[in-house]
Each structure stands twice: as C-alpha cells, then as structure tokens.
Structure 1
Amino acid sequence: MGKPVRLALLGCGTVGSEVVRLLHEQAADLAARVGAPIEIAGIAVRRPNRARGELPVDPALFTTDALGLVKRDDVDVVVEVVGGIEPARTWLVEALRSGKSAVTANKALLAEDGGTLHDAAAEGGADLFYEASVAGAIPLLRPLRDSLHGDSITRVTGIVNGTTNFILSAMDATGAGFTEALEEATALGYAEADPTADVEGFDAAAKAAILASLAFHTRVGADDVHREGITEVSAADMASAKAMGCTIKLLCIAERGPGADGAESVSVRVHPAMIPRSHPLASVGDAFNAVFVEAVAAGQLMFYGRGAGGAPTASAVLGDIVAVARNRLAGVHTASESAYADLPIRPMGEAVTRYHISLDVADRAGVLAAVAGVFARHDVSIATVRQSGRHADASLVIVTHRAPDAALAATVEELRGLDVVRSIASVLRVEGGQ
C-alpha cells in the first residue's frame, strides 16, 4: 500500500453524507483498487454542530473554513458537492491551480464557467473529474470523453432530468394535467419545494451544455442552449401524442453538422417533444434518465439508469475519486477537456425539426386551403392533417415534415393572424421520426 490519499470534502448534505458512508463501508476495497488508503482530511460545512445521525466520521473533521481546508498541504484531492457558482468556483480554482485534483458534481458551475475550471486544471497539472454532474450513477461522461474518443459523435439525445420525466410519465399514464402531476411528484419527493430549475428546463440545459462540450470537443455554455420547460404541456397534448402513437418527453438534443452556411457547427436545445413509442427513450419512465448517443463508427448507443439521489450520485463521485487517486499515485493526470474543434454554436432558428400544431378553426369552406397556404409561403411541407369536430369545436391537427425552426416559428406566427384561425391550442416539436 502506498501513502494514503487524503480528501477534502466540501459539503455534507444528501450526496456528501453518502460519500462519507461509502468511503467508510468500502474502505478496504477502495484501498485495494487505488493501491493506497483513502482518508478524509476534513469536511467543510456551514453548520458543523448539526446532528448527522450515525454518520461514521470524527466530529473533529468538520470545519466552516472551506478555503482553508482546500489550501492545506496534507490535502491531495478536493471533492465538491455543495453546488452553486460561488464560492464553489473559488474553492475549485484554488485547488486545481495548486495541483490538487478535483471531483465535482456541480453541473451549474460546469455549464456556467467550466472553461475557468479546465484552464485551472491545465495550469496546475491536476485532474478535474465530474461524472456525477450529469445523469447521476449512469457511466456517461467518461465513455463520451474516453471510450468514444476515437469516434465522431453526431448526435446526443437524452432525458436527463428525473423530476420532469416523472411528471410527464404520470401525465401519459393517467391523463392528469401538469399541475396534478407536479403535486404528485412533490408529495413523493421527486420535485423540490421550488421546482423551477427542473420544470423550466434550467437543470437539463446545464447538463446538455456539458454533454455537448464533451461530445463535440467544443466549449458549450448554458447560455448557448435553447431552453423551454414543460409547464405548458397539457393533458390534451398528451392525448394528441397518444393518437399519433407518441409520448412527450423533455429532451436535451445536441447535434453536430452543417449550418445554414454549410460549415460545421453545433446545435444544443432542451424542450418538450413528441417521440414515437417505438423510440428507446419513449419507454424511460418514472424518475429514470437515459441518453441516446449516435456516432459514425459505433452507431447507436444508449445509457440508462437512476439520474439522481444521494446514493446513485455518490456512486459516480466515488468512481471519480478512485480514478484521480490512482493518477495521483502514478504521478500522472488525465486531460479533462478536449476543445480543439472550437465549433460555432448554431442558433435555434437553424435547427431542423418537425412541428405538431393544433388549431381551433372556423367551420367554413376554404379553411384548409388558407392554412395550407401559410405553410407553403414559408416553405414548410405538411406531413399529415387531421380534421375533427364541427362548428365551435372544429379543429385541425397538423404535423410537418422537417424544416428549419425559424421557418416553422414564422409559420405559427402567421397562423395566429389568420382570420379563420380562432386560436392555436398547442405547438410541440416532434423528434425521432421521419
């Protein structure tokens, strides 16, 4: 056995407590895998005297001085599970620049300012690992960064937020509306008291930025991601999706390909979308996550599992700790970033997709021709039209062929002003089909 690898743990909440427990319970196995014991040098928390049940740790290890703990000479690895932008960024930059390896689950910081962390890691010759930042326990980021490094990834499509997936799955199964499904998710502990980050797509957008950065060797930030949440998805939308043989999921979609000018670029978006029930992601229910990767040589790959929770997330953190500890003993570090491609970010208007549009229309001759004329003017081809009802209940449901999002959005905007269209009941994108 080599000299112990000593950790500074920043945060001891749901995930941090599980990290401590697993380090204690698996100490012998972890030491055998690393080649040296892993020891906790200190744990930074806001309230060191808070009761923490039967946590197997010496109370003397707790401190409120996180930065002081990071700077200690006897610390080899800093593990950050606090979250947020500051002061987590300051702590991690200090650690990395001084040559200490860092493990983090902080998706918000990585999406907001991951470049600063990667630059600090390069400057200090240190490891920066963050498997737990996306999709919890699912081994995903390292396969993108390492296993598929010799391939060219063209598209990543994923369900990466368990709360919204639970809500949409409940709506699909029971016919409930969004509000009722959200109340159920909150009661079961799947949704926070303030679910904004989840239901408005902020959480998924941060994860989409991290996935795109790794997949396409380009720095992608949260501001580069087009984001829409699920609050406008209705029971009627679900019923319409079922009628098409589809379901609705909040998807993160990252694509690499030619933009409007023909040059290679990257498109990253998060929004609810209809997908065929035959698609592998359609069967992902409850609060599970899944990511569907398409690559030139490897073809189609899917990663599936629990995307959140203390134990699953701690499992990913422990995996990173073992990796950086091994590197530390070997005197090497792994490049945490490959951003050589430096591709431009394609605006949402250039993303090619399909629309499902539900219209309440006047019940009179010429309505379909007037509506079709609007689509023709914007060079949007109609795939299917379903007409139902009479008089005040007359409606049209139109599904388009693939077209630039800007053309589709302009079509919808002109439809709003058409005198034969009383209202636009819903607009949803359609993915996963031709």
Structure 2
Amino acid sequence: MTDYRRLRVALLGAGAVGSQVAALLLKHGDELADRAGAALDLVGISVRDLDAPRDVDLPRELLTTDPEPLLVGSDIVIELMGGIEPARTSILQAIGAGADIVTANKALLATHGPELFEAADQVGASIYYEAAAAGAIPIIRPLRDSLAGDRVQRIMGIVNGTTNYILDRMDRDGSDFAEVLADAQALGYAEADPTADVEGYDAAQKAAILASLAFHTAVPLNAVHREGITQIDADMMDAARKAGYVIKLLAVCERLSDAEVSPSGETISVRVYPALVPREHPLASVHGANNAVFVQAEAAGDLMFYGAGAGGVQTASAVLGDVVSAARRHIAGGVGVGESTRANLPVVPIGHVTTRYQITLEVEDRPGVLAAVAGLLSDGRVSIATLEQTIVTGDDVHTARLVIGTHTAREQDLSDTVGALSASGVVTRVVSVLRVEGD
C-alpha cells in the first residue's frame, strides 16, 4: 500500500446523486487514491434528516445535521444540496476556510457564479462543476481546458433529458404532450411539478453556464432567452416530419457580428427554445432522456458530446472526476485556476438573431389570400423558401393550412411580420412559429 497524503472530503446532501457519490467514494477509495495521488477520506455527510430513506445504505456515523464542522475543516467540499440557499452560504463559508468546491448546482452557478468564482480567486481555491451542465457528459472540462486555445463559434445542445424524452415520444409514437408527460412522471424522468423542465428553465441555466465558459464572458441568467415545449402538439410534429425535421428543445449559444451593439463587432446570443432540426443532423438521432452537445470551433471544427444527462450514478461519475481533479491540485500545490470572463462580450436580445423559420398559418380558402400572405412576408423582409397548402373543409367554412418555410431572416423582422399577419384579416390563426437550427 502506498502511504498517500490524506485529504478530508465533506459531502453536503445525500439525495439521488449525493448518496451515490458517498457510496462510490467508500467502495472505490483505494482506486481513487491511486488516480488522485492522495487518500480521499470522507469525513462527514450533511443531511436535513438523519432518518430519511435513501437509495444507498450509508454509515450512520458519517451523517450529521450540522454542516459547520465540515465546512471549516475539509480540503474538498462536495455540494449536492441543490437550490440557492443554504448552498450559496455554505460554499462561500467553505471557500473562506480554504476548501476547493465540487458542485452540480446549475441553478446556483447560473445565478451567483461570478460571486462564487471571485470568492475562490481571492483565496486561491477552485470550483469544479462538470456535473452542472449535462450530467455524465464531459463538456465543462473540454470547454474550459481543451478548447481554451481555440475560438468556439457555436454551441447547440440538448441539455434536458425530460423534454427530449417527451419530444422523442411525440415524434415516434404520435402521442400528445399531456399523455407523454404523464408517462415521464410515472417513469421518474419528470417531477410532479415539471415546470423547470418543460418551460425551459433548467436548460436556460445550463445554457448560461456553457456560454460563459465558451465565450469567456459572464452570462447572467436573465440574458438567456427562454421558451418551453408546452405548445408543441401532434400537428406540429406531423408538419415537422413531413418537412424532414424533428423538434428538439435546444440550448443555442453563438457568436454574432453586430457593429451597432459592440465596438469590436462581436456579440453573443444565448437562447433556449423548441426548434426544427434536420433529420440527418447528429442531434436528431438523440433519443429518450439522453443529452448531447454539438460544439463548433474555429480550428477544431465540429465536435459532439453525447450521453446520459441525468441519473444518480451517472452524475456521480462526473462529480467524482472533479473530486480527483481537486485532489490532484492539492497535491501539486499552488493557487486554483480561475474562470476566464475577460472577453466581456455583450449578450444581445433574441431580436438580433438570424435563422430560418417554419410558420404555420390557418387562412380562409379564397382567391387572393396567398398573394396577400406573400406580400406581407415580402414587406417584412422575410423570403419564402417552401410552401405547403392543405385544405381543411368544415360544415360551412373552407379553410387552408399553410406551412411556410423561410430563408434566413432576422428574428425582429420575423416577429414584426408575424404580428402583421395576425392583424391582417387574411390569416385566421397563427398556429405556430418554429426556428430551424442545424442546417
């Protein structure tokens, strides 16, 4: 046995992920010591309820409801409580005591990341958060380290497993949203209150983290444009299928050129919304509750990272990878590596984005309507690429459904044009507007 230096590791939270992290630390301690170059002694696990049921049996003597001694007496503190408080206060206290932090708390990092990283910089500590953006998928370290010498141009990712499961089922089975959501809840993919997932909040938090890393710019959560998937229905899925697309909830982070906003001409856009993805694109083949992140870099080209985006043991894998990295830093000595946000690029609103669209309209089936619609689109600087018309006959009314694919257009122009169509009198209803990504 090698006589390794011993590091004290504290764990805050023993839920689905935390209990797996503790179990793996205890089970594979010798292997982890060989990889880290230090023995990792789990000195305590802070929990709210000592008697709460857990996925894994943990030694009772490690459990405590008082985190204070763990925060001030550990070399590495693993925060897996989730939420903003008391996680924020606990992490700041641990950093102040000189500990490195490992966390999977996307909400906290998206909301208070700059504050936490600044606190770590002040004392030479490091914060590791591989598990905060896409579960077991290694994406944080490649963006922060492997691509640090490159220029990331664009990130397009499926970063929420619940919504991908729902949309995938709707696409393959023709099921309704409510039906698949109920199934997702029964399977444990969706919470009893699924708002954070289906309204895009979870994905927006992850997008803010990824964009901050990729573009070396602090991206506040309120700068991320967010839309959910609750309006997606079977008809929209059918129209997408006929046009050769699949609908995915995407997090899109990209560099833009906008001299009106930035003296350098460079800005960034960070957004989350359901979008049409061509069926031949790699992201279209991401099924079930899996995640995938597609990165486009100036020199490295196209890269894709794929795997489980959630799950206790899967996420624990990413957490333990960070623990090993933190231990190696302690052994090597020196100050921690801070986050690079010095680029300070402006984050522009959604109106500055340029992409393609699919617009679905219901109109009266009478002469002149198509010409009127085409004229309104032209006036709004939106050019038609494809058009499919379906006649819908009711008892006394004949209507047509138009599915219009556009060439690239500026989001603000498209939004103004859709408003003009709604108010025109020739359009009965704007059924949907979906962006096209990944062409």
Which residue of the other structure, out of 5, 9, 13, is the alignment partner of 1:3?
5
Secondary structure of the equivalent of 2:148? coil
Q: Matches of 2:183 and 2:356 in 1, distance apart? A: 31
Structure 1 residues 12-69: Cα deviation after superposition (integer angstroms, max 9, x where no partner): 1110100011111211110111112101111111012334475242x12221122342
Match of 1:199 in 2: 198
- Retained in 1: the 8 A contact 2:26–2:42? no
Q: Which amino acid aligns with 2:118?
A: D
Assess if the C-alpha contact under 8 Å between 1:267 and 1:347 holds in 2: yes
Contact map agreement 2:14 2:54 (CA 8 A) in 1: no
Query: In the alignment, is the contact (CA less than 8 A) between 1:20 and 1:55 conserved in 2?
Result: no
Distance 1:188 1:66 in 2: 33
Alignment partners' CA distance in 1, 2:318 and 2:192:
26
Q: Secondary structure at the match of 1:16?
A: helix
Rounded to whole Å, the distance in 2 between the matches of 1:393 and 1:360 is 7
Residue 101 of structure 2 aligns to a residue whose secondary structure is strand
Within a 5 Å distance, the mapping from 1:268-287 to structure 2 comes to: 268-287=270-289
Q: Look up the SS of the partner of 1:342 in the other structure.
A: coil
The residue that corresponds to 2:407 in the other structure is 401
In the other structure, the counterpart of 1:40 is 42
Name the structure 2 match of 1:155: 154
Letter in 2 for 1:152: R
Task: Note if contact 1:206-1:221 (Cα within 8 Å) is conserved in structure 2.
Answer: no
* Aligned match of 2:172: 173
- With 177-186 and 284-293 compared, the bigger mean Cα shift is at 177-186
SS of the equivalent of 2:431 reads strand
Asked if 1:258 is matched to 2:257, the reply is yes
Give the equivalent residue in structure 1 for 2:431. Answer: 425
In structure 2, C-alpha distance between the alignment counterparts of 1:97 and 1:403, rounded to whole Å:
50
Deviation at residue 3 of structure 1 after TM alignment: 2.2
Which letter maps to 2:193?
D
More moved, 355-364 vs 223-232: 355-364
Give the direction of change, closer, same or farther, for the CA distance of 1:395–1:24 in structure 2 (3 Å limit): same
1:352-388 CA-partner distances (Å, limit 9, x unpaired): 1222111111111111111111111111111111112
Verify the 8 A CA contact 1:24 1:56 in the aligned structure 2: no
- With over 3 angstroms needed to count, the CA separation of the structure-2 counterparts of 1:87 and 1:126, relative to structure 1, is same
Deviation at 1:138, TM superposition (A): 0.7
Partner of 2:365: 363
Instruction: Report matched runs for 1:199-218 at 5 Å.
Output: 199-218=198-217
How far off its partner does 1:333 sit? 4.0
TM-score under structure 2 normalisation? Answer: 0.96
Give secondary structure in 1 for the equivalent of 2:5: coil
**Shift in CA distance, 54/357, structure 1 to aligned 2, threshold 3 Å:** closer
Write the letter of the residue equivalent to 1:431: E
Instruction: Determine the C-alpha separation between the residues in 2 that align with 1:98 and 1:348.
Output: 42
Provide Cα deviations, 1:84-117, integer angstroms capped at 9, x if missing partner: 0111011111112332100000000000110011
Kept in 1, the 8 Å contact 2:8–2:43? The answer is: yes
- Partners of 2:286 and 2:340 lie apart in 1 by 31
After alignment, is 183-192 or 62-71 more displaced? 62-71
Superposed counterparts of 1:1-400, under 5 Å: 1-52=3-54, 55-57=57-59, 59-72=60-73, 75-259=74-258, 261=260, 263-389=265-391, 392-400=398-406
| 1:53/1:138 CA distance change after superposition, 3 Å | closer
Tell me, what secondary structure is at the counterpart of 1:84? coil
Q: Is the 8 A contact 1:259 1:346 kept in 2?
A: no
The Cα shift of 1:329 comes to 1.4
Distance 1:77 1:350 in 2: 43
Shift of residue 158, structure 1, vs aligned partner: 0.0
Greater displacement, 119-128 / 418-427: 418-427
Q: Percent identity?
A: 55
169-178 or 262-271, which deviates more: 262-271
Partner of 2:420: 414
Between 1:298-307 and 1:215-224, the stretch displaced more is 215-224
Aligned residues: 430
Task: Name the aligned partner's letter for residue 111 of structure 2.
Answer: E
Q: Contact 2:23–2:56 at 8 Å: present in 1 too?
A: no
Between the aligned partners of 1:223 and 1:66, the Cα distance in structure 2 is 32
Q: Distance in 2 between matches of 1:15 and 1:51?
A: 14
Aligned to 1:48, what secondary structure does the other structure show?
coil
2:4/2:33 contact within 8 Å kept: no
Distance 1:370 1:105, change over 3 A: same
Q: For the residues of structure 1 that align with 2:240 and 2:315, how far apart are their CA atoms?
A: 33
CA RMSD of aligned residues (A): 1.3
- Aligned-partner SS, 2:94: helix
Question: Helix, strand or coil for the counterpart of 1:389?
Answer: strand
**Counterpart amino acid of 1:322?**
V
Contact residue 2 and residue 329 of structure 1 kept, 8 A = no
C-alpha distance in structure 2 between counterparts of 1:104 and 1:382, whole Å: 47
Q: Distance in 2 between matches of 1:158 and 1:51?
A: 35
TM-superposed deviation, 1:395: 1.5
Query: Once the 2 structures are TM-superposed, how far is the Cα of residue 260 of structure 1 from its aligned partner?
Result: 5.6
Letter of the 2:65 partner, please give it: T
Letter in 2 for 1:64: T
What is the identity, as a one-letter code, of the residue corresponding to 1:25? K
| Alpha-carbon distance in 1 for matches of 2:5, 2:404 | 67
Deviations along 1:318-363, one digit per CA (max 9) or x if unpaired, are 0000000111111134424111101011111001122211111111
Report how far residue 257 of structure 1 moved: 2.2
Task: Output one character per residue of 1:225-257: Cα deviation in whole Å (capped at 9) or x when no partner.
Answer: 000000000100000000001100000000012
Separation in 1, partners of 2:336, 2:121 = 10
Unaligned runs of at least 5 residues, structure 2? none
One-letter amino acid matched to 1:348 = I
Alpha-carbon offset, residue 428 of structure 1: 1.1
Deviation (angstroms), 1:224? 1.0
